[in-house]
Structure formats: C-alpha cells, structure tokens
Amino acid sequence: MFNIFKKKFIGETIVSPFNGKLINIEDVPDPVFSGKMVGDGVAVEPKDGMVYSPVDGEVIQLFPTKHAIGIRSSGGLEILIHIGMDTVEMKGEGFESFVEEGQKVKTGDKLIVFDIDKVKENHPIISPVIITNMELVEKMKKKENGVTVEGGKTEIMKINLK
C-alpha cells in the first residue's frame, strides 16, 4: 500500500574510498578518531593503495603531505579521508595525488595513490572516513563491521540530513 505520509529520504549515501575491510570508528587505534573528536564515521583497513571519491562533490582540502583529503559533497557534507595513522610523519613520501583543491569530483574518481607497504612499515594502515560537520546530520546508518568493501562502489554510510 502506498503511504503518502512516508517521509522521503533526504540525505546522502557515502561509498567506501578504499578497497578493503570496514572497521568500527571506535576501534581505530587513535583516540582523536575513536573518540569522535573530529566527527563520526567508519574506518577501512585498505588492501591496496588506491583512494577513490566517496561522493560527488569538491575537494576542499588536500594536505601538503597527501596523507589526508577533505571533500564537500554536493549536499554539503564534509568528509575527511585519512590514510593510515600518524602518516603525516611520512612527509608525503609514498603518496601521489590526482586532484587539487577546488576540483570537482564524481563518486569513484581516483583521488590518491599511496604505497601501502611503505605505510605499513611504520604505521597502522586503518584509515578513517569521517563526517566532520556533524551538525548537518540527523541520523547516520553505518554498514556493519568486518564487511568487505569496494572503493568507489560499496555503500558504507547513509546520512539523513537535518
């Protein structure tokens, strides 16, 4: 039966920026991320060194060391993708960017390639995917822990906007 009072979904779908395994944000080995001080989201344990855009939007921040990137979705969500833990210490070595600040991107576009083995030598590889402007979020539904995800394709979060 058709329900005319059913609320239409007003929100966004975030896909994984990495190929790998989904991890609960609370299990990230860094209290800034696991404590949700930057925002809420999930993390991925990447299986290769590719980073894809999780949404249609615009690159709003590309760290000079290319270990992290910020994207504003077409709906206004700000998403931080952080490759590994403490990888700023690598000073950009092993990271190559294919985008620049201000550039428009589509879901699945290649953003960054990184040397996963080089990262793993000295850093945990778990990579947070965080919504940093949580004031826009009414409800967040996350895919379950341990699920295998495909970069640029697998839905990892569904966000209802206020």
Active site residues: 82
> Which tokens sit at 119?
């990262």
3-class secondary structure, 109: coil
The most distant pair of C-alpha atoms in the chain lies apart, rounded to whole Å, by: 58
CA 43, CA 55: separation in Å to the nearest integer? 16
Nearest Cα to 106, choosing from 149, 143, 74, 63?
74
Alpha-carbon span 129 to 25, nearest angstrom: 9
User: Do 18 and 38 touch, CB atoms closer than 8 A?
Assistant: no
